[in-house]
Chain A
Amino acid sequence: MNFDNETYKITDSKNTGILLIIVGVSVTILSAIGYFSNSAQFFMSYLVAWIFWVSIGLGALFFVMLNHLTGAVWSLVLRRINESVMIALPFMAILFVPLIFGLHDMYHWTHAEDVANDAILSQKTGYLNVPFFLVRSAIYFIAWFLIAYKLYKTSITQDNNPTPDQIKAMRRVSGPGMVVFALTTSFAGFDWLMSLDAHWYSTIFGVYFFSGGLLSSLALLVLIALYLRKKNILNEMITIEHYHDMAKLMFAFTIFWGYMAFSQYFLIWYANSPEETIWYLHRWEGNWKILSMTLVFGHFVIPFIGLMTRTAKRNLVWLTIISIWLIIMHWIDLYWIAMPTYAHHGFHLSWMDLSLLIGIGSVFIGIFWKFTSASAIVPVNDAALTQSIGFSNN
């Protein structure tokens, strides 16, 4: 990989992005073979894989806005990488299209007859009906596209023609953008994941969905930075101090995820009302119990202790391991949320779970790479860039 130190552009990987997208689309299409043998399994695997990458894109969108709102300087060297992940999010709307044909396979509330005979679901038809569901999904993606596009475009303009107004403009977008983001992400979680089990409801679910996505997005950011470092790119700009701060945030959002997961579980356990506890009961059945325990320890206890000390946060080998670990845990988390509605008595991994995760992931990373190689990989003309490079924790 060639890197131009004058313009901060990667010069010879123009086709890698396209290649990844082609590979990803091919793998996804090949996975559709599974549709003919087991359509429900295909759509459920697709949903989990798709939401996994969407949630990572959402995490990046949040992180970019957060840094604009707080006026953070330390993270400036990472901004462009994040922006490239963020701008891949609206493209995931295209990959939503196959899911439209699987609504009947995935969502019980789309079965008109069952709903008519169901006292609870028949009350919910005003919200849970197919046209409104699709309209809402479209609204989410339009909102995310508008915010991400405006932020990305302003940031790229700043590279070529910096004026003090650009940073102001990005901050102005981020304020209302954050409010829109909170509402859309929450409802996206309710619609795409929580409504799989339409009897069940949890008001904190949207935040829970968001926290896992943000955590994985931070882990992916660390991995991308470490990958560039391995290729001797940006290793004087993204210093150990920046990794230390990213690790601090991963630590914080590990706790945040644990807090959300526990809050949701705790209130349901305490109130002990059957329509709520059934959701956890399903996840305590058969080998789902193993995944439940894996989440408690793997998604919370291990990264919590593993990222606690300063030494751990500044050890790049350890950060690589723990980042990969957190990303795997996030996938297990989503699988554990979605799949029990399809496989009641225990999980059995399908080849489609893996192939679709890789397929959609390859498209996502391909789009990311396309944007990364199209511009400088740091905001070269931001006034605070030098300050960000020299940032130190003490």
Chain B
Amino acid sequence: MANKKIEGIIAEFKNPAELIRAAEKLRDSEYTKFDCHSPFPIHGMDRAMGEKRSPLGWIVGIVAFLGLGAGVTLEWWTSTIDYPLVISGKPFFSYQAYGPVAFAVMVLSSAFVALAGMLILNKLPKFNHPVFHSDRFGKVTDDAFFVSIEANDPHFDQKKTIEFLKTLGGQHVELLETDEKNE
């Protein structure tokens, strides 16, 4: 036998303006685990949802400096300790020449960390998500705007939350359920 487990609620909104208004109301009602879905980025959505700034910039910044240090260390070690070579009469430790390579190592390491950090902070890759249980959700890549609220949000209450989404103008409010296999 299969039991249904409630994962969350999804509601459809008519246009980006309504989606932003719904997000602001949800934020003001102290919902935290909700998300907005739209076919295109909407200006002002981060603020409407009360999103904090991503820490990615700081992570990349710190890694950039580490990368710079690593680049300089590599060049210093190869050209003064491991394989000292006189090049056009310049000193072994010629910091001027280190610029381009150190810069490149810095950019390379920050680019990798930016990509990996973005994926990790967004919990990607993810192979499935409860919102895909809604048949209407496919329209999100075309012409529909959705709000989804997760069941583990502290303010989540099946009946009240559904009512609340309806008062915000949500249409086709659906429960998102997954099958849970019992032994």
Nearest Cβ on chain B to A343's Cβ, whole angstroms: 26
With an 8 A cutoff between CB atoms, is A383 at the interface?
no
Contacts of B43 in A (CB 8 A): 392, 394
With an 8 A cutoff between CB atoms, is B139 at the interface?
no
With an 8 A cutoff between CB atoms, is B154 at the interface?
no
CA distance A394 to B44 in the complex (A): 6
With an 8 A cutoff between CB atoms, is B47 at the interface?
yes
Known A-B contacts: A269-B96, A308-B61, A392-B43. Give 13 more (CB < 8 A).
A262-B99, A266-B96, A266-B99, A266-B100, A270-B97, A272-B88, A272-B89, A310-B53, A310-B57, A392-B44, A394-B43, A394-B46, A394-B47
Q: Which residues of chain B in 64-101 are interfacial with respect to chain A, using CB atoms and an 8 Å cutoff? A: 88-90, 96-97, 99-100
The 8 tightest CB contacts between A and B, nearest first, are A394-B46, A269-B96, A272-B88, A266-B96, A394-B47, A262-B99, A266-B99, A392-B44
Q: Which residues of chain A in 287-309 are interfacial with respect to chain B, using CB atoms and an 8 Å cutoff? A: 308
Nearest Cβ on chain B to A292's Cβ, whole angstroms: 13
CA distance A54 to B96 in the complex (A): 32
Nearest Cβ on chain A to B117's Cβ, whole angstroms: 17
CA distance A353 to B44 in the complex (A): 49
Q: Which residues of chain B in 91-119 are interfacial with respect to chain A, using CB atoms and an 8 Å cutoff? A: 96-97, 99-100
Contacts of B96 in A (CB 8 A): 265-266, 269-270
**Measuring CB to CB, which residues of chain A are less than 8 angstroms from any residue of chain B?**
262, 265-266, 269-270, 272, 308, 310, 392, 394
Nearest Cβ on chain A to B129's Cβ, whole angstroms: 25
CA distance A266 to B98 in the complex (A): 10
Query: Can you list 20 A-B contacts with CB-CB less than 8 angstroms, sorted by A residue number?
Result: A262-B99, A265-B96, A266-B96, A266-B99, A266-B100, A269-B96, A270-B96, A270-B97, A272-B88, A272-B89, A272-B90, A308-B61, A310-B53, A310-B57, A392-B43, A392-B44, A394-B43, A394-B44, A394-B46, A394-B47
Find the A residue at minimum CB distance from B97: A270
Contacts of B99 in A (CB 8 A): 262, 266
CA distance A308 to B60 in the complex (A): 12
CA distance A371 to B46 in the complex (A): 41
Nearest Cβ on chain B to A370's Cβ, whole angstroms: 39
Nearest Cβ on chain B to A255's Cβ, whole angstroms: 11
Find the A residue at minimum CB distance from B61: A308
Contact residues of B: prevailing secondary structure: helix
CA distance A266 to B100 in the complex (A): 10
Interface residues on B, range: 10 to 19
CA distance A92 to B61 in the complex (A): 43
Nearest Cβ on chain B to A241's Cβ, whole angstroms: 12
Nearest Cβ on chain A to B74's Cβ, whole angstroms: 19
CA distance A394 to B100 in the complex (A): 34
Contacts of A270 in B (CB 8 A): 96-97
CA distance A310 to B55 in the complex (A): 12
CA distance A258 to B92 in the complex (A): 25
Find the B residue at minimum CB distance from A391: B43
Contacts of B46 in A (CB 8 A): 394
CA distance A266 to B101 in the complex (A): 13
Contacts of B47 in A (CB 8 A): 394
Contacts of A262 in B (CB 8 A): 99
CA distance A272 to B91 in the complex (A): 13
Contacts of B88 in A (CB 8 A): 272
CA distance A392 to B47 in the complex (A): 11
Find the B residue at minimum CB distance from A259: B103
Candidate in A270, A272, A392 with the most chain B CB atoms within 10 angstroms: A270
CA distance A392 to B99 in the complex (A): 36
Find the B residue at minimum CB distance from A265: B96
Contact indicator per residue, chain B 34-62, by CB within 8 Å of chain A (1) or not (0): 00000000011011000001000100010
Nearest Cβ on chain B to A310's Cβ, whole angstroms: 8
CA distance A283 to B100 in the complex (A): 23
Contacts of A269 in B (CB 8 A): 96
Contacts of B61 in A (CB 8 A): 308
Find the A residue at minimum CB distance from B58: A309
Find the A residue at minimum CB distance from B87: A270
Contacts of A308 in B (CB 8 A): 61
Nearest Cβ on chain B to A314's Cβ, whole angstroms: 12
Find the A residue at minimum CB distance from B51: A394
CA distance A279 to B43 in the complex (A): 51
CA distance A237 to B59 in the complex (A): 34
Contacts of B57 in A (CB 8 A): 310
Contacts of A266 in B (CB 8 A): 96, 99-100
Contacts of A392 in B (CB 8 A): 43-44
Find the B residue at minimum CB distance from A270: B97
CA distance A30 to B57 in the complex (A): 53
Nearest Cβ on chain B to A66's Cβ, whole angstroms: 23
CA distance A35 to B43 in the complex (A): 60
Contacts of A272 in B (CB 8 A): 88-90
